Structure 1
Amino acid sequence: MADFGGDLAEARRALGEGRLGDAETGLRRLLSERPEDLTLAHLAAQILKRQGRREQARIAYERALAGRPRDAALHAEYASLLDDLGEGEASVAAYDRALALAPGLVDAAIDRAIVITRRIDRRRGLDALRAVAEAN
């Protein structure tokens, strides 16, 4: 039997280093052992997003979130993907879920304000950025 933890760490390392092919190969190997593992669904979403396969990444993120609905960081990553897809309102809603779970996610609060500024309402977004700056 393979070393799941070691193989997972290697796939994450490959992703972090931008070796997307190696990350995907490692992920496929891991999925052959644990096809329902939500950690692997999350890793798949990250790899797919980096590969520019955004609609597939959306499916993987939604699968991971269905099993880990209280994971604030996962909601924030999903929000970023929704922004990439041009879905400003949905992105803000996902950032709101992340921040409701973990109000201290400053990066998520900043990213939320940027999405509002670019995609929804410039003044409202700038007000949100000011609020983040004042709170931190």
Structure 2
Amino acid sequence: MEHLARDPTPLTRVYHLMAEGMSFKVTVALRARRVEKWIKCVKRDYLDNTPIKCVGLDCDFTNPREGNQRAAVLQLSVASENLVFQICRADEVPQVLKESLQDGSIRFCGATIDKDLEMLSPYGIHITSVYDLQ
């Protein structure tokens, strides 16, 4: 009987960080279902209750020397809630994420965000309301 090694990497990790008197919750996810849950909670707890909706957005990319460069990690931040979605290793890109990023009432803010938009488009992600902070 052959023993198959199980992947020791958990599909979701939640970290609680304290820095300079501030508390942050960071959810690192590989599964679409966890991303959907994070989006629903953030909308309910923060975005639905405010007239101006701002979400921090950033992407990290794969190494261009290892083939075609693409978005590897999508990071979203709202208040003290942070999502780190390992999009290039994910089981799928959830429709809820695509719809949220296309919501014109939410401002997605980041630095040099044009490259992020370019790298997310192969995943079917098109962000409509973007603000470059640089």
Greater fraction helix: 1
Greater strand proportion = 2
- Ranked by relative contact order (alpha carbons within 8 Å, sequence separation 6 or more), the top structure is 2
TM-score normalised by structure 1 residue count: 0.35
Scaled by the length of structure 2, the TM-score of the pair is 0.35
